[in-house]
Structure 1
Amino acid sequence: MSLEGGLSRRRCLVGGAAAAGALAALSLPQAAHAGAQIEEPLIDSVRTALSSAVHNKAPPVPEFSSTEARLTYLRWLGEMSERLKKKIADWPTRKEFLQTAWYEAKRSGLDVSLVLGLIQVESNFRKFAVSSAGARGYMQVMPFWTRVIGDSDPAKLFHMQTNLRFGCVILRHYLDRENGDLYMTLGRYNGSRGKAPYPNAVFANQRLWTFVDRDRSAA
């Protein structure tokens, strides 16, 4: 499935202030030790699709087609919130993060547990994490992406929704390029394509964020 088609067909109706000022207030950014995406030429149609995806202004506000879908989401939110409490202590921030991660993952046709596992490996859920290569935020997005498909303002990568949207759109783009091969996709995202440590780490952490809806399966 193409990125553009995946985004339009999988759009899921769901639901940080600008971080530049907050970033300036930090004396030392928190370091991250993951890899980084490598800039590659993009054909015009791909560039346009990616740019359109990241510029869509729809807010991540949850809407559901049925009561059962809404209840499933709320059960997921409650369980993930408990798991994430040690990483993000503040409930409103934790709720906003999970809601946004869920929305952006579904919007891009990705498994939210994969996205959360990737975030744990990349930044350990630190909003202002910066790698030695300059990748930024929760999903460690390289600043060149804001020039290629954004508005050339890398400071926005410290904004929660912006970072998660860029990260999910880029991950979906790589998944399409690798014809659905998650192992190679994760390596490409990390800048270590074909090497095992990073994909294996993400898969291991993905298991920590897998959700089994016991209420629904028991019905």
Structure 2
Amino acid sequence: MVRLVKGCALAALLVLSATAFAGNQKEEALADSVRMALANAIADARPPRPQFTSIDERIKYLHWLGEMSARLKKRLPDWQVRKEFLETTWYEATRAGLDPALVLGLIQVESAFRKYAVSPVGAHGFMQVMPFWTRVIGDGDRRKLFHMQTNLRYGCAILRLYLDQEAGNLFLALGRYNGSRGRPEYPNAVLAAWKQWEFQGVSPVARANPQ
């Protein structure tokens, strides 16, 4: 009986730890220009196909893809799913001017790479996007937050917005993303996870947006 109680307590602790940092962005008034810029970015339906200015850039990107795939294999065992996820993450992060390693670290903390994760406060998907964003800058369909590219695009665009609002202060921007601005727990968790996804080779450089 004691073992059963301890087992239940441990399971509850694991659940709490997995959801403790789930996204909880706060709805706030946005300037019309900001809202329209975000809406246009989200509405861009082009597929995640990066273009490179040289063969060297292409090779660096492929090295990054191979290294990240090896690290992610235990979390996403299916090769095709893993490849599509990494390609899309790199594309959307680069498109938003973010380090792909930072975005991977945030996803690790937010959802542990679970596509259909839903937090206790209702945040959805890989990057735990709050559904109100679909009304503010999208078409109102919160179900799309379980679509991989849509979720990553929203998450990257929102983090970029918060970075701009915080004048590039990543600590405060991450706190805003989590709804805990000024508190250290969440930013520190993401920054620690970021280090786990840093590319050991030369960082890939390319243009995420097609001509």
Q: Give the TM-score, by structure 1 length.
A: 0.83
Matched, 1:139 2:127: yes
Percent identity, aligned pairs only?
64
Matched, 1:51 2:45: no
Please show how residues 10-49 of structure 1 align to structure 2 within 5 Å: 32-33=19-20, 34-49=22-37
Q: Which amino acid aligns with 1:203?
A: L
Offset at residue 123 of structure 1 (A): 0.1
Does the CA contact (< 8 Å) of 2:24 and 2:123 recur in 1? yes
Matched-pair contact (CA < 8 Å) for 1:35–1:192:
no
**Superposition RMSD on alpha carbons, in Å?**
1.5
CA distances 1:135-171 after superposition (whole Å, capped 9, x unpaired): 0000000000000000000000000000000000000
| Partner in structure 2 of residue 19 of structure 1 | none
Residues 92-120 of structure 1: per-residue CA shift (max 9 Å, x gap): 00000000000000000001110000000
Contact 1:36 1:135 in 2 (8 A): yes
Distance 1:187 1:92 in 2: 33
Which of 51, 54, 59 aligns to 1:71? It is: 59
| Number of the residue aligned with 1:174 | 162
Partner amino acid, structure 1, of 2:63: R
- Structure 2 distance, partners of 1:55, 1:196, is 33
**Alignment check: 8 A CA contact 1:84 1:94 kept:** yes
Residue 214 of structure 1 and its aligned partner are, at CA, apart by: 6.2
Query: Residue 114 of structure 2 aligns to which amino acid in structure 1?
Result: R
> Where does residue 152 of structure 1 map in the other structure?
140
One-letter amino acid of the structure 2 residue matched with residue 123 of structure 1: S
Give the aligned residue type for 1:142. M
CA contact (8 A) 1:156 1:162 kept: yes
Match of 2:74 in 1: 86
Residues 143 and 85 of structure 1, relative CA distance in 2, 3 Å threshold: same
In the alignment, the residues of structure 2 paired with residue 134 and residue 185 of structure 1 have an alpha-carbon distance, to the nearest angstrom, of 20
Opposite residue 159 of structure 2, the aligned amino acid is L
| 1:194 corresponds to 2:182 | yes
Cα deviation for residue 215 of structure 1 reads: 11
Displacement of 1:132: 0.2
Partner of 2:88: 100
Aligned residues: 186
CA contact (8 A) 1:32 1:130 kept: no
Separation (CA, whole Å) in 2 of partners of 1:215 and 1:57: 26
Q: CA 1:147–1:215 in 2, change beyond 3 Å: closer, same or farther?
A: closer
In structure 1, distance between residues paired with 2:51 and 2:33: 31
Q: Partner letter of residue 117 of structure 2?
A: A
**Counterpart residue type for residue 97 of structure 2:** G
Conserved 8 A contact 2:23-2:130: no
Cα distance in structure 2, aligned partners of 1:161 and 1:121: 19
Residue 35 (structure 1) shift: 3.6
